[in-house]
Structure formats: C-alpha cells, structure tokens
Amino acid sequence: MHSRYRTYQRISDLPKLSGEEVVLRGWVADRTDKGRLQFLRFRDGSGFCQLVVFQPEVPEDVFMVAQTVTQESSVEVRGLVRRDERAPGGYEIQVHDLRILHRTQGYPIAPKEHGVEFLLEHRHLWLRSARQHAIMRVRAAVIRAICDFLDANGFVRIDAPILTANACEGTTTLFELDYFDLGKAYLSQSGQLYAEAAAMAHGRVYTLGPTFRAERSKTRRHLTEFWMVEPEAAFFELDDDMDLAEDLVEYVVQYVLRHCEQELRALGRDCSQLEKVKRPFYRISYTEAVEIVRRKGAKLHRKLPDGGEEIVDFPWGEDFGAPQEDAIMEEFEKPCIIHRYPAAVKAFYMKRDPENPDVVLAMDMLAPEGGGEIIGGSQREDDYGALLQRLREQGLPEDAFQWYLDLRRYGSVPHSGFGLGIERTVKWITGVQHIREVIPFPRMLYRIVP
Ligand code: 4AD
Ligand code: MG
C-alpha cells in the first residue's frame, strides 16, 4: 500500500518493525492489571497486539493513563516492538508513551459473555470484537478470491439491477414495492436473468451483489438479504457448469487457507477438512441422492391441509430440506454436486434433460461439515417455445419477460450458470454456526436494526 495514506504505522506491519520504535493509533480492547505491569489488548483495525506498560520505565502520568484507560477508549501509543511467541498476534509493544484521544465511558459490550440478541442489538459495536473482526476478514478474502478467479478466467463483471420487474426464483419470496406510475417492482432475488443477457454480449460474465428473499424461514442458513456471485457463460453445458463450480470453490477455499491463517486460528477452526477441498468433488444425481436419504432414514415431514403433519419415507420428486442435505453430506468429506433434479421443484428457466423430461439440467453443490447448499445453478432453457411454455405453466407475466424471451429469439445458444451464496460459503469456511454472524449487518425475519 502507498505510504502517503498512512501517517501512522499499523499492527499488520509489526513483523517488519521488530526492534524499532513505532507510533500506533487505535483502541483499547481490554486491560489486565498486574500491579506495576499493565497489559492492554490493543487493536487498530489491521489486527490486535499486546501493549506492556511497566511502571519503572514510563513517566508517572503515562502509567496513570495505562492504569485508568477504559475499554474502547481511543489512544495513541509509542513504544518498542518485540517479537513474543506467547503474545496474541505474536508481537507486543513495550510502551514508552500513551495518550488518550477519546475516553470511552460505559462501553456496552464487556469482555464477558453476552446473549446473542444483545450482541445483535449492538452489531455496530460488536463488529469490533476479535471474533467478528476475523470473520469479516475471511468474508473479504472470499469475495477477493472469487473475483480474482473469475477475472483470470475471462469472466467480465456485470452489475445487475436491484430494482426489477421480474421474479426469477418463484413469486412467493418477493419483496414488493410501488414503482412510481409503473406499478409493482421487486427487490431482485437473483441477477441471473440480466447475467444471461450480458453473457450473450460478452460470452462469460458474472454479477456480484445483494439479493433478496422474503422467506419466512428462521434457520441458521437463511437471510432475507444476502450476497451472491453469479457466473454465466455462453456455450457452457451442464458439465461445464459443474466443472466451473468445482474449480471456483477449490480456488476460494485454498486461497482462504493460504491468506487467512491467523483469522482461522482466531476462530478456532480445525482446517483439516478444508485442506481436502480439492478436485474432483463428488457428483451424484438427484435420484442417487434420494437413495442415500432413504438409506439414512431422513424422513419427510409433510404438512397436511388440516394443519397437522405426516412423516413419510422420502418420495422421489420432493425438494431436499436441511435434514436431507445433512444426511447426504454425512457420506462425503468433500463438497458434493447433486444434478438433475425433478423439474417440478426447480425454476422455470432450467432446461429439461433431453434424456429424461421429468428432470432438469440443474445442479446444487452441498458443502460438508454442516455447510448445506452453497451453490444452485443450471443449464438454461434456450428454446423459445419451451421457455414460453414454462412461463405460462408457472403463471409468470409474459409482458415483463419479453426482453428475456428476446435472448431466445436472436442468436440463442446453450448457456449455463450458477449462484454461489457468499454468506453460506463464509459460514462453511469459518465454521461459524449461524449465518447472521458472517454478514456485517444481517437482515432476518425479526431484525432490520442496526
Ligand atoms: O439456489 P438459488 O435460489 O439460485 C438462484 O438464485 C439462481 N438464480 C442462481 C443462478 O443460477 N444464477 O440461490 C443460489 C445460492 C444458494 O445456493 C445459497 O448459497 C444462496 O444463494 N441462498 C441464500 N443464502 C442466504 N440466505 C438465503 N435466504 C438464501 N437463498 C439462497
Ligand atoms: Mg437453491
């Protein structure tokens, strides 16, 4: 980075500054009083390190500051950098001077345990904690790795609109709003339809941005606003799509292992399973997956019209829920791609398998270790007549889809793509239990603040 942006040194530079006198600015995360020794856990955004203030070595007023500084006060510190294996972060500062920039009173988040609802209420402050800091760093690395990989492989980034007239993933999960005199608009469920148009202009493209689902599900894997990367490629068939998904996920996981060692350690992540995430992954058909589900006894809980529930052996034709996905993934220590789902449970735009009209050329990738579905994709219906029929069957407004049908009117070609959920992926890689912790400000059924 250019030093003209950096008047102060940063904790991330400490390995290069061992034995030197430095000036750092940041915040006091915690303090431990050992009489003549004060240990301050210090953070400056780039990392955490320990400040050691030894009474005989500093002026009396500096020691007073160290003894009384409150959690989350902002400070400027001058001192000597020392390598110390035992210190968190591997380095500590032997303090010579310490100045308060802003004294904090009554910081709400104490270093002790808080309930998760309290922490979510204070998400704007919770982000400062070491654990949340590590998660956000991994998230940034995941997004960087995705863009690096796709850019290097000839995919052009295209940004899809967020306000749209089109339902992409079914009409039951749309956030609706009034759009001036033009009637109803929706928050985008997916950039895919726009990516398809752009793929006919650039061959290989991807969209990356927030997407929205008005899902009333309260699970550890669902957000109402989540980020998705959606590659789309002309002349790709289903097998190419699966190859691309496999290459991308392998690259992202190996990139994070290489670049986020410290963060993964801070999160207590056992990385032995992640190290195995190398090609080839597993590939099974939906029909084979159903056999596993039945063998494992992951039954289907089906709602009855009278409000009750019946529990049945998993029937061919139903979509998998979390219990089935988890049962399937007990079999695999690497990600598994499931392909050729029943047409009835998948979206209108997926192409029928020419060898079996009951299934579509769809594929989902499930991650091991409780990751669940991280990718959903397919080969797209490229035939005008077939697509129009699917739109009609699903009762979608033909007017709003005329532009999308144009892609099949003018130089239609086989094409495929997929969506990879950023938060699902970060949740899996970090080993965090709940998706709400892997996005800076989660939007869920019962949360819109802060
Ligand atoms: O399987 P989905 O619904 O597929 C699509 O949206 C396609 N249009 C993508 C495409 O082919 N271009 O969603 C894709 C992925 C899922 O596999 C999951 O990782 C994530 O998006 N996802 C969610 N993540 C968090 N919260 C939710 N409510 C999610 N819904 C989907
Ligand atoms: Mg899906």
Q: Which residue has the tokens 């398809």?
A: 196
Residue 40 forms beta bridges with which residues? 31, 51
Q: Which of the four pLDDT bands, split at 50, 70 and 90, describes residue 2?
A: low
The CATH number corresponding to 124-438 among 3.30.930.10, 2.60.40.2380, 1.10.760.10, 3.30.70.1520 equals 3.30.930.10
- Of all protein residues, the one whose alpha carbon is nearest to atom 2 of ligand 1 is 376
Q: Which residue has the tokens 């034995």?
A: 19
- Of all protein residues, the one whose alpha carbon is nearest to atom 23 of ligand 1 is 421
Atom of ligand 1 at shortest range from CA of 419:
9
Percent of the chain with pLDDT over 90: 93
Residue 325 near ligand 1, beta carbon < 6 Å: no
**Six-digit token pair at 373?**
């579905």
Q: What is the mean pLDDT of residues 287-316?
A: 94
Q: How far is CA 30 from the centre of its chain?
A: 29
Residue 380 forms beta bridges with which residues? 350
One-letter amino acid for residue 313 of the chain:
D
Q: Which of the four pLDDT bands, split at 50, 70 and 90, describes residue 400?
A: very high
Q: How much distance in Å is there from the Cα of 30 to the middle of ligand 1?
A: 40
**Six-digit token pair at 226?**
């989540």
Whether the per-residue pLDDT at 72 is higher than 90: the answer is yes
- Other Cβ atoms less than 10 A from the Cβ of 448: the count is 11
Q: How much distance in Å is there from the Cα of 118 to the middle of ligand 2?
A: 32
Whether the per-residue pLDDT at 86 is higher than 90: the answer is no
- Of all protein residues, the one whose alpha carbon is nearest to atom 24 of ligand 1 is 421
Q: What is the mean pLDDT of residues 271-296?
A: 98
Q: Could you tell me if 231 and 244 are in contact, meaning their C-beta atoms sit under 8 angstroms apart?
A: yes
Which of 212, 424, 425 to probe ligand 1 with, by most ligand atoms within 8 A of CB? 424
Atom of ligand 1 at shortest range from CA of 222:
26
**Six-digit token pair at 103?**
């004294």
Atom of ligand 1 at shortest range from CA of 189:
6
Domain boundary assignment for the chain: 3-102, 124-438
Q: How much distance in Å is there from the Cα of 422 to the middle of ligand 1?
A: 9
- pTM equals 0.96
Nearest CA to 204 among 433, 415, 43, 366?
A: 415
Q: Please report how the helices 402-409 and 384-393 are oriented relative to each other, as an axis angle in degrees rounded to 10.
A: 160
Report pLDDT digits (tens) over 305-361: 999 999 999 999 999 999 999 999 999 999 999 999 999 999 999 999 999 999 999
Q: Could you tell me if 75 and 62 are in contact, meaning their C-beta atoms sit under 8 angstroms apart?
A: no
Q: How much distance in Å is there from the Cα of 421 to the middle of ligand 1?
A: 6
Q: State the pLDDT at residue 6.
A: 59
Q: How much distance in Å is there from the Cα of 21 to the middle of ligand 1?
A: 50
C-alpha to C-alpha distance for 207 and 232, rounded to whole angstroms? 9
Q: State the pLDDT at residue 7.
A: 67
Atom of ligand 1 at shortest range from CA of 215:
28
Report pLDDT digits (tens) over 231-273: 999 999 999 999 999 999 999 999 999 999 999 999 999 999 9
Q: Could you tell me if 166 and 347 are in contact, meaning their C-beta atoms sit under 8 angstroms apart?
A: no
Q: State the pLDDT at residue 113.
A: 86
Contacts of 142 (CB under 8 A, 6+ apart): 252, 256, 422, 425, 426, 429
Q: Could you tell me if 123 and 441 are in contact, meaning their C-beta atoms sit under 8 angstroms apart?
A: yes
- Of all protein residues, the one whose alpha carbon is nearest to atom 6 of ligand 1 is 190
Q: State the pLDDT at residue 5.
A: 65
Q: How much distance in Å is there from the Cα of 170 to the middle of ligand 2?
A: 11
Q: What is the DSSP string of 68-119?
A: HPPTT-EEEEEEEEEE-TTSTTSEEEEEEEEEEEE-----S--SS---HHHH
**Which residues line ion ligand 2, judged by CB < 5 Å?**
376
C-alpha to C-alpha distance for 173 and 424, rounded to whole angstroms? 18
Q: Which of the four pLDDT bands, split at 50, 70 and 90, describes residue 103?
A: very high
Fold assignment, 3-102: OB fold (Dihydrolipoamide Acetyltransferase, E2P) (2.40.50)
Whether the per-residue pLDDT at 384 is higher than 90: the answer is yes
Whether the per-residue pLDDT at 180 is higher than 70: the answer is yes
Ligand nearest to the CA of 170: 1
- Of all protein residues, the one whose alpha carbon is nearest to atom 20 of ligand 1 is 421
Q: How much distance in Å is there from the Cα of 418 to the middle of ligand 2?
A: 10
Q: Which of the four pLDDT bands, split at 50, 70 and 90, describes residue 111?
A: confident
Whether the per-residue pLDDT at 287 is higher than 90: the answer is yes
Q: State the pLDDT at residue 196.
A: 98
Backbone angles phi, psi at 127, to 5 degrees: -55, -20
